[in-house]
Amino acid sequence: MANTYVNNILHIVFHVKTKCTPIVENDLDHVHRYIGGIVKSLGGVLIEVGGMPDHVHLLAALPKTMALADFVRTIKASSSRWIKDLHPYYGAFSWQDGYGAFSVSASVVPRVIQYIRNQREHHKVRTFRDEYKSFLQASGIEFDERYL
């Protein structure tokens, strides 16, 4: 086959460090746009980005030339450095080491976009921990509760 065709759509979720300063509401849109710029600069396709002050949801097509771990590590490292420069308030800001990445079929992309856009509503009734556990369970991923 002469060409490479790839459609690796992923729902990626990562959280601020437990004892870290959350992102201020007024800065969320700026942070999300910056993350979108990182995705684009890496050759990925941003489909949706959103979240809450303590975590990010990212729906993106992974670049065909990059490993998932490198993609997420670059997004987290670059955005963390940028956030620290926003204001002295973020001097100790950091993302947690881990992340969740869940493959998404093209047929459910619209549903995942709506899910990301409705984070405020979801978190009125569901904690991040419960949300994350449901992703892991739905994907058949074994996990240890102590490390969530």
Tens digit of each residue's pLDDT (9 = 90 or more) over 34-60: 999 999 999 999 999 999 999 999 999
Edge-to-edge strand order for the sheet containing 55-61?
A: 45-52, 55-61, 9-15, 100-103
The arrangement of secondary structure in 9-147, i.e. its CATH architecture, is 2-Layer Sandwich (3.30)
DSSP 16: B
Lowest-confidence range among 15-29, 32-46, 51-65, 122-136? 122-136
As a whole number, mean pLDDT of residues 119-145 equals 82
Q: Which residue has the tokens 């979801």?
A: 122
Answer whether 0.85 is exceeded by the pTM: yes
Provide the residue ranges of all domains of the chain, joining segments of one domain with +: 9-147
More confident residue, 42 or 133: 42
More confident residue, 124 or 17: 17
